[in-house]
Structure 1
């Protein structure tokens, strides 16, 4: 079994009624974990004793998922929910490199050897269509019709939670498929922290949605 060093004040997310709710660890014993009762729209989420919940635990850049059950409640300055410690834990790889498959439309411009080209100088008509095949905090895979060469810098315009984000990636691996299209693995070489965090949050959102389906 994977061992996890649970710690007070660390973040958790619990799945209840098809939704994830934020909470954190308030106290620990050998047998159970005490967490703050999650809230929704100003009301405590109605979790009753014996309810089985799915939990995501955040530890540095790693994620762990496990099932737990509600043992009870108590009040110590704030309402506390007592949940059982997990019998089985699954580890999700370091979050920067978690790669989530998806099929989304995107636009791109091949900057070739000029990665510092300002997007504002590019006319919208210069963008070509692409299909986003997968995404991680460190790179993405796109399918395009135009030939791209290894080490070309590609400016990709993609939509993340209804927000358009422009990212420059360098082509590291290119495979031509049977239909003459090019599947390109792009590596983010100079992604700013704010944009990367937006992508990581989006990836976690997609992962949670996939977990619910499974």
Structure 2
């Protein structure tokens, strides 16, 4: 496997692109390393969002974000070439503009998708056996957290710790710990609440599986849109 030595990027690796618009609003997209040209230039797959192609411009600056066992890294880069492939799929050559930096990640790309979740509350010491197991479904999910819909009959409040099992597909179930950071819907007529959960102490292996799953789902949405 080829490695982008100075920045430790691998061909085929899933990455995130952080793009800022003219109003200073940052948007995150999922992409993939398509090729390594030299120590300063790589080729990436064009980003997609909600099954639609996102066009970027030559000269546009962006941040390339990826994960390693010791943390999360960003490379500042700019687009130097855009090439159209088959079926309106684009690839981009980007040039690194400086050394990589280690960052504390706050914003992740969120995929709107319904996935089954089982969860129970837990204590700060990790004790969970005293709490009942409940079912929920995701409204969206990212490498940093998820939004789930939960029956109002289930007693839950902000800052509660949760042990969650997320079923990504038929044979992949992820176990994550999360903290409730937001509850919405308490004042409406629905019998469910929307719960914002921020993942806690998530391993890079689990986060990589999540990001890989999100990327593959985006490709599926894109392929359906092109048919």
Shorter-chain TM range is 0.5 to 0.7
Distance 1:191 1:147 in 2: 25
Q: Is the 8 A contact 1:95 1:200 kept in 2?
A: no
Map of 2:136 onto structure 1: 130
Instruction: Provide, for residues 33-57 of structure 1, a one-character-per-residue CA deviation record: whole Å limited to 9, x for no partner.
Output: 997xxxxxxxxxxxxxxxxxx6459
CA-to-aligned-CA distance 1:41-91 (integer Å, 9 cap, x gap): xxxxxxxxxxxxx64599333799996236xxxxxxxxxxxx8869xxxxx
**Aligned match of 2:148:** 142
Residue from 161, 165, 168 that aligns with 2:174: 165
**TM superposition score normalised by structure 1:** 0.57
Q: Contact between 2:42 and 2:93, CA under 8 Å: does it hold in 1? A: no
Q: TM-score, normalised by structure 2?
A: 0.54
Residue 117 to residue 199, structure 1, CA distance change in 2 (3 Å): farther
Q: Point out where structure 2 has 5 or more consecutive residues left out of the alignment.
A: 1-5, 13-30, 48-61, 67-73, 86-90, 95-104
Contact persistence 2:146–2:197 (CA under 8 A): yes
The question of 1:200 aligning with 2:200 is answered no
Q: Which residue of 1 aligns with 2:64?
A: 59
Structure 1 unaligned regions, length at least 5: 1-6, 14-19, 36-53, 71-82, 87-93
Is the contact made by 2:140 and 2:146 (CA closer than 8 Å) also made in structure 1?
yes
**Cα RMSD, aligned residues only:** 4.1
Task: Say whether the 8 Å CA contact 2:176–2:200 is kept in structure 1.
Answer: no
* Cα shift at 1:184: 0.4
Structure 1 residues 201, 117: closer, same or farther in 2, change over 3 A?
Answer: farther
Structure ID, larger Rg: 1
